[in-house]
Amino acid sequence: MTATKKLRVATTSLAGCFGCHMSFLDIDEHLFELIELVEFDRSPLTDIKEVGDCDLGIIEGGLCNAENVHILREFRARCTKLVALGACAVNGGLPAQRNHFKLTEILEEVYHTSPGLANGLIPNDPELPLPLNKVHPLHEVVKIDWFIPGCPPSGEAIWKALTDILAGRDPDLGFGMLHYD
Amino acid sequence: MSESFTLDGKTIPFAAGQTIIQAAADAGAWIPHLCYHPEFKPHGSCKLCTVKVNGRHMASCTTQAQAGQEVESNTDELNEERRTLLQMLFVEGNHFCPSCEKSGDCKLQATAYELGMMTPHFDHFYPNRPVDASHPDILLDFNRCILCSLCVRASRDVDEKCVFALSGRGIDTRLIVNAASGRLEDTDVALTDKAMQVCPVGAILRKGKGFAVPIRQRTYDRSPISDIALKETSLALPAVENKP
């Protein structure tokens, strides 16, 4: 029996495509090593809905609506360290390509004026989170401790960054693993 | 050739009139840069090649080598400053690598990899700059322009066409096209121009060839820029076959 306490880790996908989580699963058999070192709190892997007190929060995706911001702030309040995982979390990524257009114009086009959308209505249910005017990367709203760029970062890069962090080092990807695309 | 200076403790010989970056390159030492190109007069604007000469910050592309100079380049302090310059370049434009045809061949990206830039750090500007796709062979994407002026110098000094210029001042500086319409189709620019070969980023692209080489098999996917920058001549675009 080892007396070492496992680190508690939460993960979530905000304005992302879950590609970074899929890439995270690409660490393959390293998952067996990882599970010896960490236990998962809120994450798509556990289906826990509310984030508890954690040592590490890993966040994929940027911020495109009010709920994204709410969850990010919860993660910041509950996690000792936060990691921005992937292009969208780091610089807004694909969702931020809408930043050149007015939100009203986008909603009009998506729900009203595109062909085949006769009488479309812009969804306005109070349950739906309100879209932000612009998409933002995480570090523009809360302090982020580490960044892992890539669209997505490779499983190899994610494993290298995680092992660096678990060993108490800043992630150092180096040539061949550091990519922005 | 007997005169020399030291670069990070290494002795670098130089010929009279050479700049620090030229002498360093001749001796096989790479100093990070974006607006400098060995075939053109230096512009001194990107400041990435800044070194410390006897303790003072100087752009190594515009500072003449002199005997006995003590030059520092590859230090934590200078590399941190270079990372900050790169971060400012990334947030001022729209540098969305996953959708850029230049990804893997881009000197801005490769230099940021080299210097370990993990985040753009600053707030993004997300500027709205319409692209100029008017020319049948060439795409001009102002969103990625870093104002290095290499296309300006190439078009003026080599092609003798003056197709490009930098206009405005400070944060409003922008690349413009020398035509009454402001559009590339109304200039005499051609694919074979030197100005088409020198863009370090994805601002000037040849149409229809963007993905001829797959992602991850490109120039700086294979080797870090610090290893190959001194060996390459013009790698902005693949060699252009003559068009009828």
pLDDT in tens, A42-58: 999 999 999 999 999 99
| Architecture of the structural domain at A7-97+132-166 | 3-Layer(aba) Sandwich (3.40)
Average pLDDT in chain B: 94
Question: What separation in angstroms does the CA of A19 have from each of A24, B116, B146, B231?
Answer: 8, 23, 30, 37
B104 contacts on A by Cβ (under 8 Å): 181
Span A74-128, pLDDT tens digits: 999 999 999 999 999 999 999 999 999 999 999 999 998 888 887 778 999 999 9
Asked whether the beta carbons of B5 and B12 are under 8 A apart, the reply is: yes
Closest residue in A to B215 (Cα) is A181
Q: Which residue has the higher pLDDT, B138 or A4?
A: B138
Give me the mean pLDDT over the B85-89 stretch: 98
Q: Does the beta carbon of A171 lie under 8 angstroms from any beta carbon of chain B? A: yes
Please report where in the chains the tokens 């604007």 appear, as a residue: B45
Specify the pairing of strand A146-148 against strand A79-85.
Answer: parallel
pLDDT recorded at residue A116: 84
| Nearest CB neighbour to B215, from listed A93, A96, A181 | A181
CATH architecture of the domain with range B97-228: 2-Layer Sandwich (3.30)
pTM: 0.94
Q: Which residues of A touch B119 (CB under 8 A)?
A: 84, 90-91, 139, 144, 147, 149
Tokens encoding A46: 């556990």
The mean pLDDT value for B68-78 works out to 98
**pLDDT 10s digits, B215-230:** 999 999 999 999 999 9
d(CA B192, CA B152): 15
The alpha carbon of residue B168 is apart from the nearest alpha carbon of chain A, in Å, by: 22
Cβ-Cβ contacts under 8 Å for A48 (sequence gap 6 or more) = A40, A41, A42
Instruction: Give the C-alpha distances (Å, rounded to integers) separating A64 from A83, A88, A138, B5, B202.
Output: 18, 10, 10, 53, 27
Cα torsion B232, B236, B242, B244 to 10°: value is 180
Q: Is the pLDDT of residue A3 over 60?
A: no
Sequence spans of domains, chain A: 7-97+132-166
A136/B239 Cα distance (integer angstroms): 39
B contact set with A (CB within 8 A): 90, 95-100, 103-104, 109, 112-114, 116, 118-121, 123-124, 126, 128, 215, 224
CATH 3.10.20.740 for domain B4-74, yes or no, is yes
Please give the full DSSP string across A37-52, using - where no structure is assigned: HEEE-SBTTTTB-S--
Q: In whole angstroms, give the CA distance from residue B209 to residue B238.
A: 9
* Chain A residues with beta carbon closer than 8 angstroms to that of B215: 181
d(CA B67, CA B122): 40
Q: How confident is the model at residue B233, as a pLDDT?
A: 54
Contact A96 B128 (CB under 8 A): no
Tell me how close the Cα of B123 comes to any Cα of chain A, in angstroms. Answer: 6
* CB proximity A100 to B under 8 Å: yes
Q: How far apart are CA A169 and CA A81, in angstroms?
A: 13
Q: How is B225-243 classified by DSSP, letter by letter?
A: HHHHTTT-S--SSPPPPPP
Look at the block and give the residue holding tokens 């922008």.
Answer: B174
